[in-house]
A = this chain, B = another copy of it.
Amino acid sequence: MKLWAPPTWHTAFARALFFTAFALSLSQALPAHSSLPFIWPLPAAFTFGNETLSVDPALSLAGNAASSAILRAAFDRYRGIVFKHSDRYGFLRTLRTSYDVAKLQINVHSHSDELQLGVDESYSLFVSSAELHSGVVTIEANTVFGALRGLETFSQLCTFDYTSKTVQINKAPWSIRDKPRFAYRGLMLDTSRHYLPIDAIKQIIESMSYAKLNVLHWHIIDEQSFPLEVPSYPNLWKGSYSKWERYTVEDAYEIVNFSKMRGINVMAEVDVPGHGASWGVGYPSLWPSPSCKEPLDVSKNFTFDVLSGILSDMRKIFPFELFHLGGDEVNTDCWSNTSQVNSWLSKNRLTPKEAYEYFVLKAQQIALSKKWSPVNWEETFNTFPAKLHPQTVVHNWLGPGVCPKAVAKGFRCIFSNQGVWYLDHLDVPWEEVYTAEPLEGIRKASEQKLVLGGEVCMWGETVDTSDVQQTIWPRAAAAAERLWSSRDHTTRT
């Protein structure tokens, strides 16, 4: 298997972490499965032989993929990954004059570049026997995003052989028919507890594509800092850690575009009302009082004006149909203990708990009015399940057993049980990440369909640019295989 990757060595680090660390874990922990190929996550169906083919460093792109900007860019990227040992000085050319594989033919049935939840990511990949002398590896897919997944798999079939100094495909011929088990395969990044530069975020997005993850859940803002520019309320990013630890609107566009080029959606989060203390740095009236800063002041129209302004500005940036509204860990003491808010509660005959419900539902209406489906952390479902909008996606985190309850009531659900899928829990070994099952306790096919998938969460309190990748990988790759590969393949028998 290939250990390291691309000539543009931005990816080298992530790819090294991804492949070596995990391969080492596997080789130490599991009996040798010589029958399993080194493809991660394991494809849905595959057959292979025992031939070795050489791949031409001048590998060219054929098929109708060349008319897709996304696929042209991806082909160039993956050619760089496969031919890391490029022949810049012409030494290698003297070693060999003909190759078994000279063309990668990619055919897609649709050139639409609309990327949404549930987009068809299936693909087929065929490497014929050397005897047939076709010289062509073929990827077929319904969409450009399926073809991207096929390209990743192709890159994992290719290995640099240090003896012949040739890139080789081992175990040919190959026939792979692949598709993901879940539509939502996420990684959460938290840029409030520690700021991450956009280049570090891009590096993480690139590494997600190696594991075929397809949603970046961007927990942009929290009580510690407000790094995002919001043109409608330009003082909000005064809540950033410094005037350099910020994301411009253009930076955010760049993250979304960079993700899309890799078939990854970006789900933004604005966590209200419990995690909003940083909002008040720019607009102090959003705090119940300067000494009691969150939850956001439920009593003021201004609070919802600002929320609406943020979502309006963000709607232009984030085209994904899901938007995360948080709703977790709401301690209402600041509302009860601040006379002005407390008066408002009394006047409106609301208990603090009812005011929490009022805030969450009002936020949901704002998101829905902007054609977003709201996602909320599970406390909202645990507290007032009957009141949540039916389009709500319940995001599990507190423990097991929540998705079964949510789907039984007809809600969609995302699995992120903190005991196994919170990456800041450093004591959780990869085996426990791997064996966590999003459909645990859900038997009915109709209810299983409501589980969109799952997400590993990289909370930012204890990681920064220097160690975030090392904390994400290799364990995120364990969850990625759980979410992509068939349940049979990922369950020990």
Stretch of A198-206, A284-292, A430-438 on the interface side: A198-206
Stretch of A88-96, A379-387, A478-486 on the interface side: A88-96
Q: With A17-B466, A243-B162 given, is the CB distance from A197 to B91 under 8 Å?
A: no
Task: Kindly state the separation between the CA atoms of A3 and B16 in the bound complex, as whole angstroms.
Answer: 26
Q: Among B3, B162, B165, point to the contact of A197 (Cβ < 8 A).
A: B3
> B residues within 8 A CB of A250?
85, 87-89, 91-92, 165
Q: Is A109 close to B, CB under 8 A?
A: no
For window 1-20 of chain A, which residues contact chain B by CB distance below 8 Å? 2-13, 16-17, 20
Which secondary structure dominates where chain A touches chain B?
loop
> B residues within 8 A CB of A5?
199
Q: Is A329 close to B, CB under 8 A?
A: no
Asked if A251 contacts B465 (CB within 8 A), the reply is no
Q: Among B3, B199, B253, B465, point to the contact of A244 (Cβ < 8 A).
A: B3
For window 151-185 of chain A, which residues contact chain B by CB distance below 8 Å? 160, 162-163, 165
Q: Is A315 close to B, CB under 8 A?
A: no
- Minimal Cβ-Cβ distance residue in B for A469: B466
Task: Kindly state the separation between the CA atoms of A467 and B469 in the bound complex, as whole angstroms.
Answer: 11
For window 139-158 of chain A, which residues contact chain B by CB distance below 8 Å? none
Q: Whole-angstrom distance from the CB of A462 to the nearest CB of chain B?
A: 15
Per-position contact with B for A441-475: 1 when CB-CB < 8 Å, else 0? 00000000000000000000000011100100000
Q: Among B89, B202, B229, B467, point to the contact of A9 (Cβ < 8 A).
A: B202
Asked if A16 contacts B465 (CB within 8 A), the reply is yes
Q: Whole-angstrom distance from the CB of A251 to the nearest CB of chain B?
A: 7
> B residues within 8 A CB of A466?
13, 16-17, 21, 470
Q: Is A260 close to B, CB under 8 A?
A: no
Q: Is A293 close to B, CB under 8 A?
A: no
How many copies of the chain does the oligomer comprise?
A: 2
Q: Is A111 close to B, CB under 8 A?
A: no
> B residues within 8 A CB of A465?
13, 16-17, 20
> B residues within 8 A CB of A91?
249-250, 253
Q: Is A245 close to B, CB under 8 A?
A: yes
Asked if A13 contacts B253 (CB within 8 A), the reply is no
Per-position contact with B for A62-88: 1 when CB-CB < 8 Å, else 0? 000000000000000000000011011
Q: With A12-B197, A253-B89 given, is the CB distance from A246 to B470 under 8 Å?
A: no
Q: Is A248 close to B, CB under 8 A?
A: yes
Asked if B203 contacts A9 (CB within 8 A), the reply is yes
Task: Kindly state the separation between the CA atoms of A92 and B248 in the bound complex, as whole angstroms.
Answer: 11
- Minimal Cβ-Cβ distance residue in B for A1: B244
For window 235-286 of chain A, which residues contact chain B by CB distance below 8 Å? 237, 242-246, 248-251, 253-254, 257
> B residues within 8 A CB of A245?
3
Asked if A6 contacts B85 (CB within 8 A), the reply is no
> B residues within 8 A CB of A4?
197-199, 244
Q: Whole-angstrom distance from the CB of A258 to the nearest CB of chain B?
A: 10
Task: Kindly state the separation between the CA atoms of A435 and B110 in the bound complex, as whole angstroms.
Answer: 64
Asked if B467 contacts A13 (CB within 8 A), the reply is no
For window 182-215 of chain A, which residues contact chain B by CB distance below 8 Å? 197-200, 202-203
Task: Kindly state the separation between the CA atoms of A294 and B51 in the bound complex, as whole angstroms.
Answer: 41
Query: What would be 9 A-B contacts, judged by CB atoms less than 8 Å apart?
Result: A2-B244, A8-B8, A11-B199, A13-B200, A16-B197, A16-B465, A85-B248, A85-B250, A88-B257
